Amino acid sequence: MPYLRILEALRSRVAGARAALLLDSQGELVVGAGDLTERERLIGAYSGITLGMALRAATRHQAGHIDHLVWRYQNGSVVICPLKDGYYLAVFLDAEAFVAAGVRSAQDARLVLDAEI
């Protein structure tokens, strides 16, 4: 499956990347690489709700395109990138990971995933 290879490549490029998930517009997991616990799946689903709200607000207020959102918390970070057709990418990073590297790799993966979807 090409999606799994893309997600695994993303994880290998970012030190501290625990998991990378491709989710559909309903927050359902399409495919994931790495530590796929129920926690990551739930955070991924809820992040999709927030992403959808942010995308609608950006459109309504003509604020421009959203490339990614980042949530930081005590145990790490989550990078969310919208994809075409309502899909989105969620990358889970350890607390020690460089968030900028995670964002950059997620953006690179976003381009490849958009071409494959």
Tell me the pTM.
0.94
How confident is the model at residue 31, as a pLDDT? 97
* Domain that includes residue 54, residue range: 2-116
112 contact partners, CB below 8 Å, separation of at least 6: 6
pLDDT in tens, 22-79: 999 999 999 999 989 999 999 999 999 999 999 999 999 999 999 999 999 889 999 9
| Residue 20 C-beta-side C-alpha neighbours within 13 Å | 26
Q: Identify the CATH number of the domain in which residue 84 sits.
A: 3.30.450.30
CB 32, CB 7: distance < 8 Å: yes
Q: How many helices (H) and strands (E) does the chain have?
A: 3, 5
Contact 10, 32 (CB under 8 A): no
Percent of the chain with pLDDT over 70: 99
The total domain count for the chain is 1
Q: How many CA atoms lie within 13 A of 22 on its CB side?
A: 24
